[in-house]
Chain A
Amino acid sequence: MTEEERIALIHAELDGELDGGQRADLARLLLAEPQTRVLRDQLQALGSRLDAAGQVEPPPQLKDSILKRLPQVPAQTQATYPKASLSRWRLAALIAGLVTAGSIVYETVQGPGPGSRDTAGTMVAEAPVTVDSVALDSGPVTGRASLYRDRAGLAVGLELSAAEPVDVLISSGGHSFQINGLASPSPGGIMHRTVPLPGVGGQGQEVELEFHIGERTVGRASLHAPPGP
Chain B
Amino acid sequence: MRYQKPVFNVALRMLRNRQDAMDVAQTTFLKAFEHLGDFDPAFRFYSWLYRIAINESLNALALRKPRAELDGNAADETPGPDRAAEGDQALRAIEDALMHISPELRAVVVLRHIAQQSYQDMAQALDLPEKTVKSRLHSARERLREHLLRCGAI
Is A62 touching B26 in the complex (CB atoms < 8 A)? yes
Query: A28 within 8 Å of B by Cβ?
Result: no
Is B12 touching A215 in the complex (CB atoms < 8 A)? no
1/0 per position for B15-45, CB-CB distance to A under 8 A? 0001000111111111111101101010011
B-to-A contact residues, CB < 8 Å: 1-2, 4-6, 8-10, 12-13, 18, 22-34, 36-37, 39, 41, 44-46, 56, 59-60, 63, 82, 86-87, 90-91, 93-95, 109, 112-116, 119, 134, 137-138, 141-142, 144-145, 148-149, 154
* 4 closest cross-chain pairs (CB), A and B: A92-B26, A95-B29, A54-B114, A50-B113
14 A-B interface contacts by CB (under 8 A): A11-B138, A15-B119, A49-B94, A51-B116, A53-B95, A54-B13, A62-B22, A65-B22, A77-B34, A91-B27, A91-B34, A92-B27, A98-B32, A99-B1
Is B8 touching A56 in the complex (CB atoms < 8 A)? yes
Is A94 touching B33 in the complex (CB atoms < 8 A)? yes
Is B33 touching A81 in the complex (CB atoms < 8 A)? no
In this complex, the interface size class of chain A, counting residues with CB under 8 Å from chain B, is: 35 or more
B129 nearest CB across to chain A (Å): 17
Given contacts A56-B12, A81-B60, contact A215 B46 (CB under 8 A): yes
A167 closest partner in B (C-beta): B2
CB within 8 Å of B: which of A90-128?
A: 91-99
Residues of chain B within 8 A (CB-CB) of A59 are 18, 22, 82
Residues of chain B within 8 A (CB-CB) of A65 are 22, 26
A39 closest partner in B (C-beta): B145
